[in-house]
A and B are shown apart, each in its own frame.
Chain A
Amino acid sequence: MPILQGVVEQNNYISDLDMTEIAKELDLSAAQVFGTATFYSFLDTIPRGRFVIRVCKTITCDMHGRKMIVQTLENLLKIKVGETTQDKKFTLLETNCLGWCHKGPSMLINHEVFSELTAEKVHEIIAEYMHK
């Protein structure tokens, strides 16, 4: 797992080639590595952007306006949930409970947490990330 996590950290996703290489090094079958990699939602096996945005979709964030946040992001980035921007900078995803239910809605951008989101806040955050 730490190897797979490291690959995601570096390349934003784990390619088929990476998986076969890892299998060879660890003397496992490629299927075993593939099995582990595809089980975990944070171990992406398709190319992702440099910044992966994960919006919490669980009940309390949902109650506090998750849909509006997702729409704002979709409009800003001109992509739908599950897609990556053409410049490979942002990927927009939804995820299950992030553990910020008292401060919903919330999202993760890579490892950084943003909570108590409003449309204005999302604008500011994305503007900041555009320059990174």
Chain B
Amino acid sequence: MAEFLKRVDLIFGEYSDQKYKTLEKTMKRPNDDIIKDILDSGLRGRGGAGFPTAMKWKFTMEQPGDEKYVICNADEGEPGTFKDREILSKVPRKVFAGMAICGKVIGAKKGYMYLRGEYRFLLPGLLEEINDYNEMAKELGIDFTIEIRMGSGAYICGEESALFESMEGKRGEPRNKPPYPTVAGYLNKPTVINNVETFVNVLMICRIGPVQYKKLGTRDSRGSKVFSVSGDTPIAGIYELELGMPLEKFVEEFGDGDTKAVQVGGASGFCVPRKKFKDTIIGFEGVPTGGSMMIFNSSRSMYNVLHNYLDFFEEESCGQCTPCRVGCQQLRKGIEAVKRGDKPITYLEQLMKLSETMKITAKCGLGQSVANSFSSIVNNFREEMIY
């Protein structure tokens, strides 16, 4: 195996010999020390956006009031992502321990996990583990309980403010920002919302310390990351790798020898063509990813890939703001028209402008990120869009 692709066994590593040992130890430490450790570790959110976790926690900690919430975002809906499912079925205890640490630091008494409807089959196992946690918390005198809320099949609810709306029983439509969740989140109270994997990372930092943790990854992308590898690869599945590796090495390892392009970060991520594999780093300094790595070989039509993504966005757009609602539709109709020959090739430029406009004007991450895959596919595979 190439030296760049060091496999890591941090997230999926075994539980400590004693249940919730790290949590028990961490509970005795001062909050500022814990925040400092997480800040030192360089941990950035694992959902895809990559906001520094320590800052999020600190902002929420500094908010007045004692009604605060910790929410674990398990609404993993990005096409090509399935790592949270694996984490929740293999090491759920680590997630709950991470949430409890967060609860202690920010001063919250209540945590929720928002689980996507498609993962309903995980519920019995998770409930068992949560009961176990809640009992343990009572014994240790930890004033923080956890509950699960189910989603019902809406991609947009992975967006944090849409998730709050959904938890409050409303349509999952994103809110205006600011205020950010750290100030007004669930029920308009200060809320920390993190990805499943982020909470596990926090626990591992508390267990092994920031110095050890920092040895993994690069300056801008510390630690390891769980990747969901799918598409044209003989070894699809879940892999925990160090961040900051060149895409070329990744393709060498996972590709089928005929890789044409890799979609990094799912439908809302970027499409990297073969000629750019060499110069592309997987991490926050290059192309960031929430873990989704979809590999396409030369038998695939990138037009079909883009069409599939646009279909996806069109359906999952919440319809609240015009740029996204109408934009997704027009992009799809536009590429269809160019393909049919009803519109001239130059029409692609107009569509490109439209996607840029969506990036600036859409209300939330969904509409803003459509341009990522649209422009990276159209720019790099222009001829496939036309013929």
Assess the A42–B238 pair: CB atoms within 8 A.
no
Which residues in chain B, 128-162, are within 8 Å of chain A measured between CB atoms? Answer: 149-155
Which residues in chain A, 9-32, are within 8 Å of chain B measured between CB atoms? Answer: 32
With A99-B85, A99-B118, A101-B228: A40-B236 Cβ-Cβ less than 8 Å: no
Assess the A58–B308 pair: CB atoms within 8 A.
yes
Give chain A residues whose Cβ lies under 8 Å from the Cβ of B304.
62
Assess the B305–A99 pair: CB atoms within 8 A.
no
Give chain B residues whose Cβ lies under 8 Å from the Cβ of A98.
118
Assess the A104–B85 pair: CB atoms within 8 A.
no
A41: nearest chain-B partner, CB-CB: B153
| B166 touches A (CB below 8 Å) | yes
Interface of A is mostly: mixed
> Contact partner of B236 among A35, A57, A103, CB < 8 A?
A103
Assess the A102–B229 pair: CB atoms within 8 A.
yes
> Contact partner of A102 among B236, B300, B311, CB < 8 A?
B236
Most buried by B among A42, A62, A108: A42
| A60 touches B (CB below 8 Å) | yes
Assess the A1–B78 pair: CB atoms within 8 A.
no
Which residues in chain A, 35-82, are within 8 Å of chain B measured between CB atoms? Answer: 35-36, 39-43, 57-60, 62-63
Query: What are 11 A-B residue pairs whose CB atoms fall within 8 Å in the complex?
Result: A1-B149, A1-B169, A2-B149, A41-B152, A59-B305, A60-B80, A63-B296, A96-B312, A98-B118, A102-B237, A113-B121
Which B residues fall within an 8 A CB radius of A?
76-82, 85, 116-121, 149-155, 166-167, 169-173, 228-232, 236-238, 267, 294, 296, 300, 304-305, 308-309, 311-312, 315-316, 318
Which A residues fall within an 8 A CB radius of B?
1-2, 4-5, 32, 35-36, 39-43, 57-60, 62-63, 95-104, 108, 111-113
